[in-house]
Amino acid sequence: MKKVISIEDLRVLFTKPYGADAPTKQKWAEFYNENVVFTDPTQETKGLDSYIKAQENLVKRCDDVFLETHAISISGNCGFVEWTMGLQIMGKEFIYPGTTRLLFGENGLIKEHRDYFDFCGPTFGPVPILGPFIRWLYSKFVS
């Protein structure tokens, strides 16, 4: 039977307040294909176990993580989720606005998950010496 993932399903999956637990392996498996491809600015993984490990590693590296959903759209076999992610690391908060593109397989589960966000600006921008260099480098690519 084909699963139909709704906008509300994605809202729940892409929402995590600070202090709340991340989705369980069982929850991820309800929505993701066994051979899902996950790509973001820092990595690419293949397979549900690798996807779950990537999510678990992010949570382990941080003191806390939040994910807030803003807008969701589903059309045919493609979905988009606009979000803001916050990472608390060693007493500092890093904020990443981003978007996820999801492709659904024939069984209705997510077969491809790609995150689009600026990793360098929010991560290195506040760092003395490195921050001004990052901003200078960005200025060479945009007017």
Q: What is the pLDDT of residues 7-36, one digit of tens each?
A: 999 999 999 999 999 888 899 999 999 999
Residue 98: which of 74, 123, 126 has the closest Cα? 123
Are 111 and 103 in contact by the 8 Å Cβ rule? The answer is yes
pLDDT of res. 51: 94
- Tokens at 141, concatenated: 């690519």
Sign of CA dihedral 102, 100, 46, 57: negative
| Domain boundary assignment for the chain | 7-118
Q: Which fold has domain 7-118?
A: Nuclear Transport Factor 2; Chain: A, (3.10.450)
Residue 101: which of 114, 117, 83 has the closest Cα? 114
pLDDT of res. 71: 98
In a 10 Å sphere around its CB, with 0-12 CB exposed, 13-18 middle and 19+ buried, how is residue 2 labelled? exposed
Q: CA–CA separation, 67 vs 78, rounded Å?
A: 21
Q: What's the pLDDT band for 1 if we cut at 50, 70, 90?
A: confident
